[in-house]
């Protein structure tokens, strides 16, 4: 249930209690301006997302859309923050750990896979989604049904990504790798016939396919061959993990999770891996 705190006296009391619980240092959840702990009620909460992933985290003319945005808004609501109390912050992949460690954000929802290596630097709640590496192909392509079918084909991924190289190393040694600066450029190359497929996580591909410019032109193959657990990135000294996991569980139980997936991938034919989704959040460390 969402909790609102109104009135200066209530807000002042809540702030005082929170500061006392933190030893008076005023550093709640790794930084940011909010002061309400798990109950919210502070000025704002800073949430890191991607700004350039259609269908997941996308910023356009001051509007923020996508599955990660919807999930983050829901979770923040359960923590007591209204949508207008959320400050969205761009969280590029390479900067996510630093942003959490230095208090630039309070939490991150940005296709952030939970790994043991990352757990040495930050904490995670969730997962709230389990993605898998997949392929995006032309709508009328019936030949490419999985990574093994890419032998001799042209495969696009973004510069610096390891996903395309993984296919070359493990599935199709003769695949020709093509790099582009972003996935949007890869999709442009695909629709122009310059490449045969694009690879990254399946829900990222579905978000790209759902864009109006790509509608009816491309499709997700639907044969994921990896497992990526998307978690909520948190500072290691946070006290929110259990509350976030409770919010994720509620989101799944009241079917909001299904609505968020559907609304952000509509028209692409994409279905999350039913053996892995919806996920069950892990116990907090």
Confidence at residue 22, expressed as pLDDT on a 0 to 100 scale: 38
Confidence at residue 159, expressed as pLDDT on a 0 to 100 scale: 82
Residues of the chain with pLDDT under 50: 1-39
Confidence at residue 32, expressed as pLDDT on a 0 to 100 scale: 40
Architecture of domain 133-220: 3-Layer(aba) Sandwich (3.40)
CA distances from 205 to 176, 199, 218, 243 (A): 20, 8, 10, 30
Tell whether domain 8-130+228-265 is in CATH 3.40.190.10. Answer: yes
133-220 and 8-130+228-265 share a CATH fold: yes
DSSP string, 25-63: ----TTSSS---GGG--SS-EEEEE-SEETTTEEEETTE
Q: What is the dihedral of CA 201, 164, 158, 184, to 10 degrees?
A: -60
Helix H or strand E segment including 228: strand 228-234
Confidence at residue 182, expressed as pLDDT on a 0 to 100 scale: 85
Helix H or strand E segment including 73: helix 67-78
Helix H or strand E segment including 87: strand 86-90
Alpha carbon distance 91, 122 (integer Å): 14
- Longest pairwise C-alpha distance within the chain: 69
| Three-class DSSP category at 124 | strand
Confidence at residue 143, expressed as pLDDT on a 0 to 100 scale: 96
Helix H or strand E segment including 208: helix 202-209
Confidence at residue 183, expressed as pLDDT on a 0 to 100 scale: 87
- Residue-range domain boundaries for the chain: 8-130+228-265, 133-220
Confidence at residue 162, expressed as pLDDT on a 0 to 100 scale: 82
Q: Quick: pLDDT tens for 71-129.
A: 999 999 999 999 999 999 999 888 999 999 999 999 999 999 999 999 999 999 999 99
Q: Are strands 176-180 and 154-158 parallel, antiparallel or unpaired?
A: parallel
pTM of the model: 0.78
């Amino acid at each position: 249930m969402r909790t609102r705190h109104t009135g200066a006296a209530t807000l002042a009391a809540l702030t005082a209690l929170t500061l006392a619980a933190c030893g008076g240092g005023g550093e709640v959840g790794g930084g940011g301006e909010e002061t309400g702990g798990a109950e919210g009620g502070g000025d704002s909460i800073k949430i890191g997302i991607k700004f350039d992933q259609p269908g997941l985290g996308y910023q356009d003319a001051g509007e923020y859309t996508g599955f990660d945005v919807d999930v983050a808004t829901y979770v923040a609501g359960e923590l007591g923050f209204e949508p207008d109390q959320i400050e969205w912050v761009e969280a590029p992949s390479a900067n996510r750990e630093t942003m959490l460690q230095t208090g630039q954000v309070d939490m991150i929802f940005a296709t952030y896979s939970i790994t043991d290596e990352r757990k040495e630097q930050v904490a995670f709640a969730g997962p709230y989604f389990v993605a898998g590496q997949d392929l995006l192909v032309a709508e009328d392509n019936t030949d490419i049904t999985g990574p093994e079918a890419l032998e001799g084909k042209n495969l696009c991924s973004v510069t610096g990504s390891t996903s395309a190289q993984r296919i070359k190393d493990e599935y199709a040694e003769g695949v020709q790798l093509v790099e582009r600066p972003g996935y949007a450029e890869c999709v442009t190359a695909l629709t122009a016939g310059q490449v045969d497929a694009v690879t990254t996580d399946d829900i990222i591909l579905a978000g790209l396919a759902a864009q109006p410019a790509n509608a009816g032109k491309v499709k997700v193959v639907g044969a994921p061959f990896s497992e990526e657990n998307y978690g909520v990135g948190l500072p290691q000294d946070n006290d929110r993990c259990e509350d976030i996991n409770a919010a994720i569980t509620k989101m799944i139980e009241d079917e909001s999770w299904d609505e968020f997936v559907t609304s952000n991938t509509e028209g692409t034919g994409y279905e999350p891996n039913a053996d892995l989704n919806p996920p069950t959040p892990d116990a907090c460390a």
